[in-house]
Chain A
Amino acid sequence: MSDVEETITRVHHEEWARVIASLTRRFGDLDIAEESAAEAFATAVERWPDDGVPPNPGAWLTTTANRKAIDRLRRENKRDDKHKEAQMAYDDPPEPLGVIDDERLRLIFTCCHPALAMETRVALTLRMVGGLTVPEIARAFLVQETAMGQRITRAKAKIKAARIPYRVPAGDDLPQRVSGVLAVLFIVFNEGYLATSADTDPVRHELTAEAIRLARLIRALLPTDGEVVGLLALMLMTEARRTARVSSTGELVALDQQDRGSWDAALIAEGHRLVRERLAAGMPPGRYQILAAINAVHTSARDVRDTDWSQVVALYNQLVRVDPSPIVALNRAIAVAELDGPEVALATVDELEDSLAGYHAYHATRADLLRRLGHSQQSRAAYDKAIELAGNTAETAYLTRRRDQLG
């Protein structure tokens, strides 16, 4: 890649959301903002190799995109008030940075509005905030490009028609709305970390990287939100283990078998620093902060035998109070098995059958506990069920080998 191409890629990452946000505020229309921003970046790709990169690429792109938007409105002959307004505002001096950052935050909250379906929020955030192309998002979530294009188009139309405001929610609403934003990022990250389909790579770095990048952006925009810090820390410590998690033969490597020397020390250090920052804040932690703390305990142990399981179980007890879901109960039971033995854990796991019978990890956990208790036959049946339900290729390979090793 040439220097200019690299610069364009970097600028695209850094400036896409700003350009969209600035245009959305000016024209009040996500459609116009998106199409004009895309045209502006296309123009940059055409011209910058010959003309050189402008001294302030962000401002150049915003100005160019504004011009494209006005051309578009003129072409479409929408000579309404918005158009006039836009023309009047056209020669405004550029806003100070703080204002634009607010604009980006507005953009994120608009894309993650609770009146939109979760999958729509994910798609829209990746497109409008992340700057991923429609084909990229379609590939990420294994839907047809046309279907994904329609989903995004419909979402933009709904934002307009349902009168979803372009605004950062105020006061009481904010924590609740932030949790929706974080849920979107966590879905993107998890789909990257444990791809649910057999048709993709088991781990998809482009998605985990994008989720982390967006989490960093949100942290910069909302520095005092503890759960934002918690989610970022959680993702960093998880990402640190990414390369150790799949073997050269494409098989999942469980946490206790991973080569800890190949974990990314810098990411772990950053995650630990963020967890300590939250502990020092002395505020009651939410779900992501507790999950991050659990990850910090795991990543602190140089050897799996040094894992402080009582600490892990204590944190899970705390998590159960915040999030009393059966999946949390299942993960807690896995830690309990290390502290109190597989028999105690199995009793807890068996209680979860009604709610988790369709979840592969439930059967995988049971299979492992039954194996450790020497119940080979029951274990084999549980592995079979887990393999049937698992979609991730690395996970299927791992479960199959464990099953076939049973005596």
Chain B
Amino acid sequence: MQFLVSVLDDKTNSATPEEMTAITAFNERIMADGNWVFAGGLAAPDAATVVDNRDGGAIFTDGPYLESKEYIAGLWIMEAADLDAARKLVVEASKACNRRLEVRPFL
């Protein structure tokens, strides 16, 4: 079962060298344990483009679909048996990257 772990922040690409080291160590460990699927940082919302082609003739909007102070600055996709197993990983991930995280299962 896969979980999306969103990194919540009001800045992008803001990890300190210490945080980067901790994140790398965490990633290497969960890769070894078979929990790692994917991870990556995201460009800031001002780099976002919203595309609406529901009615044909695509409309492009500059900026994110939702304005908020905090946004998703990065993400992990993790493999875990259930929410308890995922929570354990996310508790460590939050410590490693020193950010608040949101965890949601894929359907």
Contact = CB atoms under 8 A, between A and B. Distances in A.
Interface of A: 113-115, 161-165, 167, 169, 173
B84 A161 contact: no
A163 B105 contact: yes
A23 B104 CA distance: 26
A161 B81 CA distance: 14
A150 to B, nearest CB: 21
Nearest to A164: B83
A162 B104 contact: yes
Contact of B87 (A115, A161, A167): A115
A304 to B, nearest CB: 47
A163 B87 contact: no
Contacts of A161: 105
A169 B1 CA distance: 19
A171 to B, nearest CB: 11
B82 interface: yes
Contact of A164 (B3, B81, B82, B104): B82
Interface string B65-107: 0000000000000000111101100000000000000001100
Contacts of B105: 161-163
Contacts of B87: 114-115
A165 B104 contact: no
Interface in B1-55: 1, 3
Contacts of A167: 82, 84
23 contacts: A113-B83, A114-B87, A115-B87, A161-B105, A162-B83, A162-B104, A162-B105, A163-B1, A163-B3, A163-B82, A163-B83, A163-B86, A163-B105, A164-B82, A164-B83, A164-B84, A165-B81, A165-B82, A165-B83, A165-B84, A167-B84, A169-B84, A173-B84
Contacts of A164: 82-84
A108 B83 CA distance: 16
A163 B83 CA distance: 5
Nearest to B82: A165
Contacts of B82: 163-165, 167
Nearest to B85: A165
A167 B84 CA distance: 9
B78 to A, nearest CB: 12
Given A114-B87, A164-B82, A164-B83, 15 more contacts: A113-B83, A115-B83, A115-B87, A161-B105, A162-B83, A162-B105, A163-B3, A163-B82, A163-B83, A163-B105, A165-B81, A165-B82, A165-B83, A167-B82, A169-B84
Contacts of A162: 83, 104-105
The 8 closest A-B pairs by CB, nearest first: A165-B82, A163-B105, A163-B83, A164-B83, A163-B82, A165-B84, A162-B83, A162-B105
A80 to B, nearest CB: 15
Q: Of B3, B83, B87, B105, which is in contact with the most chain A CB atoms at under 10 Å from its CB?
A: B83
A163 B3 CA distance: 10
Nearest to B105: A163
Contacts of A115: 83, 87
A110 to B, nearest CB: 10
A115 B105 CA distance: 13
Nearest to B88: A173
A162 B86 CA distance: 10
Contacts of B81: 165
A402 to B, nearest CB: 46
Contacts of A113: 83
